[in-house]
Amino acid sequence: MNSVALITGAAKRVGRAIALRLARAGYDIAFTYNRSGDEAQSLIDEVAKLGRRGVGISADLTNLPGGTQTIAREFRGAFNRLDTLVNNASIYQAADLSATTLELTRRLWAIHVEAPILLCQEFAGMLKDSSGSIVNMVDLLAQRPWPQYLAYCASKAALGNLTLGLARELAPSVRVNGIAPGVVEWPPGFPEEQKEQYLRRVPLDRAGTPEDVAELVWFLSRPGSYITGQIVPLDGGRSIT
């Protein structure tokens, strides 16, 4: 029986790379998306070309519990097992203290903390049955917060803490780890001067790629079978400078 992965926010960018890497490793893929319907269909087509099954689930993870209830219902209608859950969906939105609103804080908290909690509750039994794993996408900024992304950084720090607590609660049946990327894909329109400033503090002298993240997700999902409760930096050494 094929292994199955569920990846949130996977129609584009890093999530898409994760989905394709796991499909190449023999996983059938369920993934969520919000407004990226065309990209979702093209991902399903790419997964099919790899000989695997792809199922896209349209869900808004800032609308809870409705979003996670939709995911649970549609996933269970398509699959009867789950081996890897990747909590990847994210909102990256700038706001310093003066610009941070309660609405923004709650949206970030919903997608980065509440949705992962609800999905882990929903799928813990299936993951235990498969001796599966959870990978949470944290961020280098959880430990090195930028004031101009105040609420974002705080919500990612909460996801990091949640990762550690889940690792203790779900052991020994389910392994739970996090990845804390630095820059692995520049945001559209990111100023060249700021790119150069960032890279000057990266010992490996380059930005990462979505494929770098995907490879680590694969490792934590299957080969890294004696690793749990870890937040792995994926930042080219930026966290040590």
* DSSP secondary structure letters along 208-240: --HHHHHHHHHHHHTT-TT--S-EEEESTTGGG
pLDDT of residue 189: 82
Per-residue pLDDT, 190: 82
Encoding tokens for residue 172?
């020994």
* Structure confidence at residue 232 (pLDDT): 98
pTM above 0.85, yes or no: yes
Residues sharing a CB contact under 8 Å with residue 10, sequence separation 6 or more, in sequence order:
16, 18, 19, 29, 31, 32, 33, 43, 86, 88
- The pLDDT score that the predictor gives to residue 188 is 80
Q: Which of these is catalytic: 33, 149, 152, 198?
A: 152
Residue count of the chain, please give it: 241
- Note whether 42 and 122 are within 8 A (CB): no
Q: What range does the domain containing 175 cover?
A: 3-240
pLDDT score of 53: 97
Q: Domain containing 169 — which CATH number?
A: 3.40.50.720
**Element holding 78 (H helix, E strand):** helix 66-78
Q: Are 68 and 59 in contact (CB under 8 A)?
A: yes
pLDDT at 84: 98
Which residue, among 179, 183, 185, 162, has the nearest Cα to 232 in the 3D structure?
Answer: 179
pLDDT, position 1: 74
What amino acid is encoded at 102 in this protein? L
Contact indicator for 213, 183 with CB cutoff of 8 Å: no
Residue 164, judged by CB atoms within 10 A of its CB (0-12, 13-18, 19+), counts as: middle
Question: Which residues does the chain have with pLDDT short of 70?
Answer: none
pLDDT of residue 31: 98
**CA-to-CA distance for 223 and 213, rounded, in angstroms?**
15
Q: Is 27 a catalytic residue?
A: no
Location of structure tokens 């100023």:
191
Q: Count of domains in the chain?
A: 1
